[in-house]
Amino acid sequence: MTRKVTIKPSNHVFHVNEGETVLDAALREGLVIAYGCRHGSCGTCKGRLLEGAVDYGVYQEHALSDAERSAGMALFCQARALNDLVIEVREVNAAKGIEIRTLPARVHKMERAAADVMLLELKLPAGERLRFLAGQYIDLMLRDGTRRSFSMANAPHDEAFLQLHFRNYGGPFSDYIFGRMKERDILRFEGPFGTFFLREDSTKPVVLLASGTGFAPIKAIVEHVLHAGVRRPMALYWGCRTRADLYLNELPERWRREHGVRYVPVLSEPLRGDGWSGRTGLVHHAVMADFPDLSGYQVYASGAPAMVEAAHADLTSRCGLPEDELYSDAFTPYVPTGGTA
Ligand SMILES: Cc1cc2nc3c(=O)[nH]c(=O)nc-3n(C[C@H](O)[C@H](O)[C@H](O)COP(=O)(O)OP(=O)(O)OC[C@H]3O[C@@H](n4cnc5c(N)ncnc54)[C@H](O)[C@@H]3O)c2cc1C
Ligand code: FES
């Protein structure tokens, strides 16, 4: 049985099939609501249930607290409609009409950029193109069905290869990438997903905040901005543990020299041998020190979930960043979902 869902305040309507999540149904019908991980971990798809009832699905407590659930909130990447619904969510028109596809891709180039970081270039089949927005991600799938999310590090205009930056987390996907993968291997992927991309209807200055391989979607966004000639002041803060972890440091240094992008690398645990004289500590603390008033800014944060969560809490409560001007892509670990909590 299908259920009708009405989105407020737009009054857009779509229909959810039995067993389908509200987010999947919206995407299938070409409506995009803000979302990230799609497995109940990041909280980006959180919205208000104004009428109707849902099965809340499986999710992490930190993404939706019991108090928020009692106050009528739900995670729409997990929620399944039990009757007709009226919901209030953030809609994202810029991603409308971009088809989510499943395609094969060939491993064109692998490059070890740091001890636990691999850069990968994937080649699509001849004649195929992937439409996406700079900052979005894909799900890579192995033959055995293992599936993980990775952000594309290239902007759409630079379409010869899909570029990905992998950290070694020691799980099955990392074992494949860092242990068994060879050039010319064929992978399948689905995408593009997510709503982490520059909101181009704003003229506000931008602070970009990356930790570790969270640099990948930020790289795509900066390259898109430089290519498209978007004229908004940009400051990029990249946090890593040691100097070796700033695996593409030359690139943002070049953006700084050639394009006036303010670039501040921040190391949390520099080694004595690093000879580091730059900023140290938590990357979002460096932003807070330099931008005590963020009320007129947009902030884009990606990478470690702990960094994204802390940046969200501190930048909104202590620097006046409006809640709806923080856009984030938390690299939450994969959690199998389905069934009910
Ligand atoms: C939207 C999105 C975009 C992402 N983009 C990227 C990307 O561009 N580059 C990238 O390197 N990763 C990215 N990730 C994270 C990546 O998808 C996961 O880390 C993936 O689970 C790793 O797979 P695995 O099989 O190696 O490890 P898993 O078996 O999934 O995990 C192994 C262990 O590592 C821990 N772990 C896994 N991921 C993380 C993490 N991110 N932080 C802390 N602990 C973790 C797990 O809890 C577990 O204990 C992204 C995640 C999301 C949701
Ligand atoms: S919690 Fe729903 S998209 Fe992450």
Question: Going from the N-terminus, what domains does the chain have, and what CATH number goes with each?
Answer: 3-91 (3.10.20.30), 101-193 (2.40.30.10), 206-330 (3.40.50.80)
Q: Over range 24-38, report the average pLDDT.
A: 95
Nearest CA to ligand 1 atom 28: 171
Q: What are phi and psi of 332, to 5 degrees?
A: -70, 145
148 lines ligand 1 (CB under 6 A): yes
* Residue 182: Cβ within 10 Å count: 7
Q: Is the CB of 166 under 6 A from ligand 1?
A: yes
Please give the pLDDT value at position 97: 87
Determine whether the shortest distance from the Cβ of 306 to ligand 1 is under 6 A: no
In testing the pocket of ligand 1, which one of 77, 331, 332 has its CB within 8 Å of the most ligand atoms? 331
Residue 119: its pLDDT value, please? 98
* Any atom of ligand 1 within 6 Å of the Cβ of 154: no
Q: Whose CA is nearest to atom 52 of ligand 1?
A: 331
Interval 304-324 mean pLDDT: 97
Residue from 21, 32, 73, 75 whose mutation best tests the ligand 2 pocket (most atoms within 8 A of CB): 75
- Residue 312 Cα to ligand 1 midpoint, Å, equals 20
Segment 302-320 shows an average pLDDT of 97
Is 263 close to ligand 1, i.e. is its CB under 6 Å away?
Answer: no
Atom 38 of ligand 1, nearest CA residue: 333
Q: For 265-285, write each residue's pLDDT tens digit.
A: 999 999 999 999 999 999 999
Q: How confident is the model at residue 335 (pLDDT cuts 50, 70, 90)?
A: confident
Integer Cα distance of 337 and 20 in angstroms = 12
Hey, whose CA ends up nearest to atom 51 of ligand 1?
Answer: 331
Give CA–CA dist 341/75, Å, rounded.
13
How far, in Å, from the CA of 1 to the mean position of ligand 2?
Answer: 25
CA of 183 to the centre of ligand 1 (A): 22
Residue 341 pLDDT > 60: no
Quick check: 214 pLDDT over 80?
yes
Question: pLDDT tens for residues 233-271?
Answer: 999 999 999 999 999 999 999 999 999 999 999 999 999
Give the pLDDT confidence score for residue 270 in this predicted structure.
Answer: 97
The helix/strand/coil state of 263 is strand
Rounded CA Rg of the chain = 20
pLDDT of residue 339: 38
C-alpha 265 – ligand 1 centre gap (Å)? 23
Q: Would the CB of 170 count as within 6 Å of ligand 1?
A: yes
What pLDDT score was predicted for residue 337?
62
DSSP string, 10-70: TTEEEEE-TT--HHHHHHHTT--B--SSSSSSS-TTEEEEEES-EE--S--TTTS-HHHHH
- Judged by its nearest atom, the ligand closest to the C-alpha of residue 330 is 1
35 lines ligand 1 (CB under 6 A): no
Question: How high is the pLDDT of residue 198?
Answer: 97
Local confidence band at 96 (pLDDT 50, 70, 90 cut-offs) = confident
| Residues 310, 313, 314, 315, Cα dihedral to 10° | 110
Report the pLDDT averaged over residues 113-132.
96
Q: Which atom of ligand 1 is nearest to the CA of 217?
A: 8
What is the CB < 6 Å shell around ligand 2? 35-38, 40-45, 63, 75, 77
List the structure tokens of 326. Answer: 């923080």
For the cut 80, the answer to whether the pLDDT of residue 115 exceeds it is yes
For ligand 2, atom 1: residue with the closest CA: 40
Q: Is 208 left (phi over 0), alpha (psi -120 to 50) or beta?
A: beta
What is the rounded average pLDDT for all residues in the chain? Answer: 95
